[in-house]
Chain A
Amino acid sequence: MRGADVTEKRPAWHQSMIIHAILAVGGLFFLMPLVWMIVTSLKPLDQTMRPPRSVAEAFVGTGNRAMLGGRDCDVVLEREITVGPGSPAWIVRPGEAFSAGELRLPFGPDTWQKYPVFNKAELALMNAPVTPEMTVLAYDRNRFDPGTGTLTLCSGRTLPATPVRQIQPSAEKLWLVREWRPEDTDQKEIGSAGGDVSRAWDVLPESAIRTSVRLIPYNYVAALSRIRFGRSLLNTLFLCVMVVTGTVISSMLVAYGFAFLEFRGRDLLFGITMATMMIPFPVVMIPIYLLYRDLGWIGSFKPLWVTSWFGSAFFIFLLRQFFLGLPKDLLDAARIDGCSELEILWNVVVPLSRPAIAMVALFTFLGTWKDFLGPLIYLNHQSQFTLSLSLQAFASEHGGTPWHLLMAASTAFSLPLIVLFFLAMRVFIRGIAMTGLKG
């Protein structure tokens, strides 16, 4: 029977306003982080690396757009350019090919390759060839002399070049803008296509640049490949299947024994079972680890699922409580009909206990999917990592800067559970009411 609430009728308006206020504050507190996770997962990198300018910008990714060569593109503002009599700026077409790195660093072709400060992505950008079909900006570090038609690169090399246009001083701010593509989200070190000479670029006054909403679903592609999502998902699912099957079967058997069969020491054993729930994991963690080490199981999945086939105290307790609520007459009738205990369990108890069993399966699945400490202790090879470990490894590897990718991976990791919750909401809610104790 469903009990009732503090009052049967709806509360008066001022009471309900206070209650709504409390619930709304609570709801915002519980929901806001999830919203923030999802909005971050769609943001461009640069917005996870500077303070949001407003509360609105904290929630919505923005970017710039401009016309480049007749196309309306997403762009990044690479740097501001101040043109004056002492600092002319030209857009020129080089007469011969050179390496893009020579535009930025005072080294000859390829010499900067020796410097270990550059990572692979940066080296690739430095190595990119600038060919006579491209245009480059001749500004502070690279000088163009219109009289002789020579371009002096930052590296010191001079080469012939033809001017395309000179950039005129303007009352507005001038920006070097470069085309941005979703793939750039993956390149943590660059993240913004900055300096990529193969992209369309231009120098534009501020009024030609628009701000627009920029949502990047591509973050998910990048993030999932970074954490080896497929492999980790398979590992996690394998563990979930093994643990759920093992826990359900063994806990059912044991709970049946505790609920319906009589043997010496039953109540004492059940009491001990209850007491084991109070033992904190760190207390038994070390000897269990050593036990598995002696069995040669470290570095395999076995420590994570084998124990579940021997029962789990909490679920034994739950199922026993549920079994005790079943009508005993049915069991006695089955016994008189000559059923064995296993047949009774399978033919009488299981069909009547579907909700409880579903709940055990769901909560076990939830627990295995979310587990972190177990995999952390027992797994040591990356090909075995569960989603928890892969995500944590990705985060610690990067010191937690690519927040947009971390949040995308986090969303992908949490989403299955949230979907499962909505699909199996009734089982969950019933389970919560049934356990009433622990989730």
Chain B
Amino acid sequence: MSRGPLAGYAFIFPWLIALVAFVGYPFVAGFYFSFCDYPPLKSPLFVGTSNYTELLRDHVFQRSMATTLTYASVAVPLGVFLAVSLGMALNTHVRGQSFYRVIFYLPHLVPTVVVALLWLWIFNPHFGLLNALLGAIPRAIDMLAEVFFALDSAGFLRPWAALLLAGPLLAAAVKLLPGPFSRRPRLRSLLLSAAAAWIAVGVVSLADALLRWLTPYNPSRIELPGWLTDGTPFPASVPFAPPWALWALILMSMWGVGQMAVIYLAKLQDVPVDLYEAADIDGAGWWRKAWHVTIPMISPVILFNAVMGIIGAMQVFAEPYIMTNGGPEDKTRMVAMFIYDQAFQYQRIGYASAVAWVLFLVIVILTLLTFRISRGHVYYAGR
């Protein structure tokens, strides 16, 4: 039962206005402006494709597009991978699931400006948290190794033999000896944990010894990157490698993936149990279940998030604007910043519109490409 079309149009009327005035008009007008010379306070003058031909010569634009593409091509796949992994780790019956869920979601509540300033402070090359922690790692490894060298020189043990053998021996003993340990599961897991820790310590000190042997290395003299102020490419041996500053922005963007992990968790909890039961009956292990049941079941969400991630990453603005303002040497100048500068700093509206449209086309192409690649890999229930 319904009441004719008028009621319907009346209800969506506000949105029709918005579609025309705030979406349709700007979309078309922007396209038109991109073919115009549009000085401030004058009317646009049609100049054909000259804005676009200028783009072909503008190295700042080309570099900003390359930077943005590099950023998106690392940040989006990495973000999706981490979010899915964390979501799957959350979706187990480990204790503290809701606690982790809250923590993972918290960064999403922090305003963009605060995120930018906070990470600017974390990335501070001299006084920031990141370099303080990174600087502490080699020192900690060294201290640990120092203990074993001391024990060794005191004649207590030959560290390598002892370390590498003791852990596995303990683990084997616990696994193999049936009597005392199988009746005491707590003791058993305690001893196995100890064995695991022992092996880890052994590996660490072996790595340290290896480092000392390979390089005349002094933990206090390890040079840490300058992050946002550092324009040197990493890894240095790879041609066209992104500079440290871009890696810093990528690392910072990973701070937001917890929110996506929480979304994946919600979707993972909707995967029907019988699929896993069927897989269990077929004798599938954890990996097979993850790969053949879990991932296909959430693949539409992964696709959607990847597409939204690409659209978001290609127009990233606030973080580089606040944190680096394009520096060092324009190496983090993104396309959205380029548009902002052209439009609002230099008042070159026609040119900025052309850049915006090129950005739009690139985004459309990337989106279509993503859909194309995903075809045949995404499972839609009920189809």
Contact = CB atoms under 8 A, between A and B. Distances in A.
Contacts of B30: 283-284, 286-287
A334 to B, nearest CB: 11
A17 B193 contact: yes
B114 A414 contact: yes
Contact-size category for A: 35 or more
B359 A282 contact: yes
B160 interface: no
Contacts of A395: 117, 322
A305 to B, nearest CB: 13
Given A4-B276, A36-B129, A52-B132, A26 B100 contact: yes
B11 A282 contact: no
A98 to B, nearest CB: 38
* Interface SS majority for chain B: helix
A11 B93 contact: yes
A286 B33 contact: yes
B12 A258 contact: yes
B71 interface: no
Nearest to A18: B89
A266 B8 CA distance: 9
Interface in B132-173: 132-133, 136
B360 interface: yes
Interface in A19-35: 19-20, 22-23, 26-27, 29-34
Interface in A202-230: none
A31 B129 CA distance: 13
B110 A311 contact: no
B271 A410 contact: no
Nearest to B90: A23
Interface residues of B, number: 116
Nearest to A396: B322
Contacts of A37: 114, 118, 121
A413 interface: yes
B263 A26 contact: no
Interface string B324-347: 000000000001100110011000
Given A17-B193, A263-B6, A311-B14, 8 more contacts: A6-B294, A26-B82, A283-B357, A284-B22, A285-B343, A311-B18, A335-B1, A366-B109
Interface of B: 1-3, 5-12, 14-19, 21-23, 25-27, 29-30, 33, 82, 85-86, 88-94, 96, 100-114, 117-122, 124, 126-127, 129, 131-133, 136, 189, 192-193, 196, 254-255, 258-259, 261-263, 266-273, 276, 286, 289-290, 294, 301, 304-305, 307-308, 311, 314-315, 317-318, 322, 335-336, 339-340, 343-344, 349, 352-353, 356-357, 359-360, 363, 367
Closest 5 CB pairs of A and B: A257-B11, A263-B8, A310-B18, A261-B8, A287-B26
